[in-house]
Amino acid sequence: MRRMELRFCVTVCIYLVMQTSGVLATSLRQNKDSSQLDSSPAIIERDPGDIWWAQKMTGGVKGTVSSMVSLSCKVQGVSKDKLDIQWYKDGDMSRPITSLKKKVIKKDSTLRINDLKESDSGNYTCLVNSSSAHLNWTYEVVVTKGKSYPFISRGPVNTTVEEGGTAELSCEIRDSAEDISWMQWVLQHSINGSFYDEEHNPYLTVLKVSSNISTYPSKFENPFNLVLKNVTEDDEGWYTCIVRNGVNGRMYKSAYVNVSSNLSDLVKTRTLFSLGVPSFSLLDSYPVIIGVAAGLVVLIVVVTAGLLFFKYKQQKLRTKYQLYPTKELVASQPLMQKPCRMSINTLYPPPPRPVRLPYDAEWEFPRNRLIFLEQIGEGAFGIVKQATAYGIGRVPKASTVAVKMLRENATPSEQQEFVRELEVMKSVKKMGHHVNIVNFLGCSTLGGPLLVIVEFAKNGNLRDYLESCRDGINGYGKFVAADDPGWYTKTPGGQIISRKSLISYAFQVARGMDFLSSKKCIHRDLAARNVLVTDDHILKIADFGLTRTGDYYKKRTGGRLPVKWMAPEALFDMRYSTKSDVWSFGVVLWEIFSLGGMPYASIPHEDLYNKLLEEGYRMPRPPLASHTLYDIMVRCWHTAPGGRPDFSQLVCQIDRLLMASLSDEAYLDMTQ
């Protein structure tokens, strides 16, 4: 079909949308003899070779820095010719856009620009050519700086309001209202005096949610203010404003609203007495006098009983710390009695002082941003729970963490130990980051029990993790020769654990301890149970409850001691050094290559003295350790501290074994 010829007119706009070969379109025509534009319907017939846009085209595209935009140039028609599609920027027809290092990707009729920068702003023109038709379209791309996480310049402040009164809280936002996509006010209240349920999850009530922030103030009340009218005791608690933008997450600020009792009755009573109004006669006062006397008697009895109970506890405390010949382990003395001088302070230590929780603004984290999940560990006086932390570590998003806390019945001395562990973790954190040391994230000391927040290790502690691998050992569940490079086992999740894996675990623990020793830190409780395993099989030394800073330390106070991991000088004389940590590292090596076995499993505590010193007993080589590795263990167990290697030497020795295991593996692969 031939194209209709329009005589004596110039077509300015020939059509808007073409869907078939025959289209009703609006043509703007200028008569040759007139300066007026004539708009009238016209039937435009298209040849079979024609093409047209497959979608409604838009002119402007917006993007933010580091994001991505896609520009479509899709056409349709009845042409069987291969289409040639080229893209140009800012009208430069001499330099078509090509795919460069995944920054710009051309696929069919779409241009995608990744990792946007402000310099990517401009006009992008798509030119489509066929043998019989040509189309072009220009997009204006505007790239703006991405928003950071929303910033609350001034949050709500702690407020005390009288019952029945009004409290006003506000959040001042640095960003404009258009940048805030969502805002929420939340109340964390208490039930029966507690802000948390049995699972340690906070009691939360959502008070106000605003999602149309950009329409304020024309349609809605101010979303950044919260007004509490006619408050009651139920309104007392922590109020948190949460703001979010569409780019980088949320930010929180909290304040406490305290509701005081109504004082009108008290004012009324004082007014009556000031006016001289008699309240009762002398005859009516006898019941009152009897009641007061009875109350005094009860008070005297309670005070006397309290004094007697305090005296009894003091006597019990002194009896507890006296030394008696016994075969049982007493933490305040060596395991085996040896002649030595002991001060009176050791025999009768003073009662523990009340524990004062240290507040440190640098590490303080609001406990109402923690959502507790399951319990993942426990110790003699503490437990560890998995939790979700919102906005910890200057990262405005939810993170999975581990939270350590004391049991409710923890003694003052145990509380002091826990506080000291917190201070040690802060000190280690300030010394620098190391991949094989557990990362301290923060703590919560206000508004509840002390919480210590550390990074979460998905696979738990090393001892339990290795123990879980025993059922997956090849060779019908029995140990095979340690020198066999083909040995392997499997975790419950199906992960392969080879001899190389075990050497890698030993190497990582040695590296972490080398870092601590270089910072003059003595761990004193190095054991496989205190080494964590991440989902990437990265080992991290944890549990700094017994850690001390210095080259040498002598323990003089009571406490639980890990006797089977302790060096002789620590076990018998309470003397600790980096060399005593080296002894413990040798025991950890034994645990690794016995897949979580118990050291000295058949030897009672009271026989360790004779076995270790007088008989020179050392644990036998575990089934999965080579003779070279066992030689390293034995040197770690040298009786004299000076005869043991340093951690830097251990790192080098185990590194050579690790490289050799990699070489063996490569050799095996080539021969298969």
The three-state (H, E, C) secondary structure of 406-473, written as one string: ECCCCCHHHHHHHHHHHHHHHHHHHHCCCCCECCEEEEECCCCCCEEEEECCCCCEHHHHHHCCHHHC
Query: Residue 317: pLDDT above 60?
Result: no
How far is Cα 48 from Cα 46, in angstroms, rounded to an integer?
6
Binding residue per annotation — 31? no
User: pLDDT band for position 512 (50/70/90)?
Assistant: very high
Least reliable range by pLDDT among 36-45, 68-77, 135-144: 36-45
Residue 425 near residue 542 (C-beta atoms within 8 A): no
Greater pLDDT, 52 or 25: 52
pLDDT value, residue 386: 93
Binding residue per annotation — 494? no
User: pLDDT band for position 398 (50/70/90)?
Assistant: confident
Ramachandran class of 200: left when φ > 0, alpha when ψ lies in -120 to 50, beta otherwise: left
Residue-wise pLDDT tens digits, 103-127: 566 656 788 888 788 888 999 999 8
Query: Residue 410: pLDDT above 90?
Result: no
Residue-wise pLDDT tens digits, 364-380: 999 998 999 999 887 66
What's the mean pLDDT in 462-471? Answer: 85
pLDDT value, residue 140: 92
Greater pLDDT, 304 or 320: 304
Mean pLDDT of the chain: 73
Query: Residue 3: pLDDT above 70?
Result: no
pLDDT value, residue 528: 94
Query: Residue 648: pLDDT above 50?
Result: yes
Q: Among residues 511, 464, 520, which one has the least CA distance to residue 492? A: 464
Query: Residue 181: pLDDT above 60?
Result: yes
What's the mean pLDDT in 521-531? Answer: 91
pLDDT value, residue 32: 40
Greater pLDDT, 197 or 603: 603
Binding residue per annotation — 379? yes
What's the mean pLDDT in 65-83? Answer: 76
How far is Cα 372 from Cα 563, in angstroms, rounded to an integer?
33
What's the mean pLDDT in 44-58? Answer: 69
Binding residue per annotation — 440? no
What is the percent of the chain with per-residue pLDDT over 70, rounded to a whole number? 65
Least reliable range by pLDDT among 129-133, 626-630, 665-669: 665-669
Query: Residue 327: pLDDT above 60?
Result: no
How far is Cα 254 from Cα 579, in angstroms, rounded to an integer?
48
Binding residue per annotation — 404? yes
Residue 424 near residue 547 (C-beta atoms within 8 A): yes
Rounded to two decimals, what is the model's pTM? 0.48
User: pLDDT band for position 531 (50/70/90)?
Assistant: very high
pLDDT value, residue 78: 62
Residue 541 near residue 523 (C-beta atoms within 8 A): yes
Least reliable range by pLDDT among 346-360, 373-387, 444-458, 643-657: 346-360
Exactly one of 50, 120, 525, 581 is catalytic; name it.
525
pLDDT value, residue 117: 83
User: pLDDT band for position 513 (50/70/90)?
Assistant: very high
Greater pLDDT, 306 or 327: 306
Residue-wise pLDDT tens digits, 551-595: 444 444 445 567 889 888 887 788 889 999 999 999 999 999 999
What's the mean pLDDT in 618-629? Answer: 90
pLDDT value, residue 64: 77
Residue-wise pLDDT tens digits, 257-302: 888 875 444 343 333 333 333 334 434 445 667 777 888 888 888 8
pLDDT value, residue 552: 44
Query: Residue 18: pLDDT above 90?
Result: no
User: pLDDT band for position 524 (50/70/90)?
Assistant: confident
Least reliable range by pLDDT among 34-48, 377-391, 639-653: 34-48
pLDDT value, residue 346: 35
Cis status of the peptide bond prior to 150, with omega within 30 of 0: no
Greater pLDDT, 435 or 29: 435
pLDDT value, residue 556: 42
Measuring CA to CA, how many Å separate 537 from each of 71, 386, 459, 465?
A: 43, 19, 8, 11
Residue 513 near residue 581 (C-beta atoms within 8 A): yes
Q: Among residues 370, 348, 350, 379, which one has the least CA distance to residue 453? A: 370
pLDDT value, residue 593: 93
Binding residue per annotation — 22? no
Binding residue per annotation — 380? yes
User: pLDDT band for position 486 (50/70/90)?
Assistant: low
What's the mean pLDDT in 424-438? Answer: 86
pLDDT value, residue 205: 84
pLDDT value, residue 506: 96
Binding residue per annotation — 558? no
Residue 631 among the catalytic residues? no
Binding residue per annotation — 544? no
Greater pLDDT, 435 or 10: 435
Binding residue per annotation — 151? no
How far is Cα 41 from Cα 23, in angstroms, rounded to an integer?
10
Binding residue per annotation — 419? no
Residue-wise pLDDT tens digits, 210-266: 765 544 444 446 777 899 989 988 888 889 888 876 555 567 788 888 888 754 443
Binding residue per annotation — 383? yes
Residue 641 near residue 569 (C-beta atoms within 8 A): yes
Q: Cβ of 206: how many Cβ atoms within 10 Å? A: 10
pLDDT value, residue 292: 75
